[in-house]
């Protein structure tokens, strides 16, 4: 199964287009299973969507633990600093910050991943700002700094990013990527840090102010994120553009959820977020129950 996801902004500028290859890594669930840790991990770390999308409400509303959320992670390589230090990052349309582990972090999740050393970069600029980010699973705290960031063929000489000092828990420890490159809007960026793609647009580094994502089921190759353009060889016919309902996440209005022509959820319309950093479909419990009933699904085992 293959699919194409297009996300765009309205303004146009001139410069260049670059494509970053993405790899589909071994799933976190597979890693945990191999170490005999999956069942215990799921009990201690239920997937909490509220903590990612509604952090102020995360402690007020319960979430339903989900067991099958760790099968798909697509990540690519970027570099930071002079000379370049390479990192694998998850390109995440559900968050806005760029961050990587740093030498200031001694959490187990940092020590088994590549860590950025600002002392080894002649172009690094320190700030006095802190950053703290909560995801559906995992979190980080650290500091903000500026340096040269290269994404594909695009070089941004003044990009703000996070250097993690703590990465508690085991989710990030078993993740195949080092850090996260957020592609959502500045309005939800922690500490007001300018997202990478916004910086590309502001500095005229892309030929068009849009990016596109192609996700392949192939484990190692075929997937990519393209900044500044769309590769027309990956689709046929015309593209359908959907207006955003909010410039926070990539949020759109859905009319309904139907199966075989029958409306089974979202009957009066609802809001949805397109998130490349989340591998599951999530929704209100009533709607999900309707879907389960319609397809005859039942709770299974890990």
Other C-beta atoms lying within 10 Å of the C-beta of residue 210:
21
Q: pLDDT-based confidence at 82, cuts 50/70/90?
A: very high
The mean-pLDDT minimum among 12-16, 74-78, 197-201, 212-216 falls in 12-16
Is it true that the peptide bond before 284 is cis, omega within 30 degrees of 0?
no
pLDDT at 49 over 60: no
* 98-127 tens-digit pLDDT: 999 999 999 999 999 999 999 999 999 999
Between residues 34 and 278, the one the model is more confident about:
278
**Structure-block tokens of residue 170:** 């085991």
The vertex-93 CA angle with 277 and 150, nearest 5°, equals: 100
- Calculate the CA dihedral of residues 196, 51, 40, 165 and round it to 10 degrees: 50
Domain 3-238 sits in CATH at: 2.40.70.10
Longest dimension (CA), the chain: 60
What are the structural domain ranges in the chain? 3-238
pLDDT at 293 over 60: yes
Q: pLDDT-based confidence at 68, cuts 50/70/90?
A: very low
Q: Are 49 and 284 in contact (CB under 8 A)?
A: no
**Structure-block tokens of residue 205:** 């580094």
The DSSP secondary-structure symbol of 119 reads G
Helical (H) or strand (E) element with 44: helix 38-44
pTM of the model: 0.80
The DSSP secondary-structure symbol of 152 reads T
Task: Show which residues are catalytic.
Answer: 92, 275
Tokens 């199966």 appear where? 259
CA distances from 211 to 10, 18, 113, 128, 244 (A): 11, 10, 28, 32, 15
Between residues 188 and 52, the one the model is more confident about:
188
pLDDT at 14 over 50: no
pLDDT value at position 147? 99
Q: What is the DSSP string of 190-214?
A: GGGPPPHHHHHHHTT-SSSSEEEEE
d(CA 72, CA 75): 10
**Structure-block tokens of residue 16:** 């260049």
């Amino acid at each position: 199964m293959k699919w194409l996801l297009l996300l765009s902004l309205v303004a146009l500028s001139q410069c260049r287009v670059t494509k970053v290859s993405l790899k589909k890594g071994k799933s976190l669930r597979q890693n945990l299973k191999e170490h005999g840790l999956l069942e215990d991990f799921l009990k201690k770390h239920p997937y909490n969507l509220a903590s990612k999308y509604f952090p102020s409400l995360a402690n007020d509303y319960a979430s339903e633990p989900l067991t099958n959320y760790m099968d798909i992670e697509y990540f690519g390589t970027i570099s930071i600093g002079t000379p370049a230090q390479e990192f694998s990052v998850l390109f995440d349309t559900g968050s806005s910050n760029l961050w990587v582990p740093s030498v200031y972090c001694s959490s187990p999740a940092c020590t088994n991943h590549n860590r950025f050393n600002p002392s080894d970069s002649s172009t690094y600029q320190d700030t006095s700002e802190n950053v703290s980010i909560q995801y559906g699973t995992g979190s980080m705290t650290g500091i903000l700094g500026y340096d040269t960031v290269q994404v594909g063929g695009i070089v941004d000489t003044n990009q703000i990013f996070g250097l993690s000092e703590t990465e508690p828990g085991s989710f990030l420890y078993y993740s195949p990527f080092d850090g996260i490159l957020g592609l959502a809007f500045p309005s939800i960026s922690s500490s007001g840090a300018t997202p990478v793609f916004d910086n590309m647009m502001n500095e005229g580094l892309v030929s068009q102010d849009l990016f596109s994502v192609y996700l392949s089921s192939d484990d190692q190759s075929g997937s990519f994120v393209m900044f500044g353009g769309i590769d027309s060889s990956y689709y046929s016919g015309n593209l359908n553009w959907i207006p955003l309902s909010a410039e926070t996440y990539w949020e759109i209005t859905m009319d309904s959820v139907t199966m075989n022509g029958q409306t089974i959820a979202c009957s009066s319309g609802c809001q949805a977020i397109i998130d490349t950093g989340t591998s599951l479909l999530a929704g209100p419990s009533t709607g999900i129950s309707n879907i389960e009933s319609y397809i005859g699904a039942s709770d299974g085992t890990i």
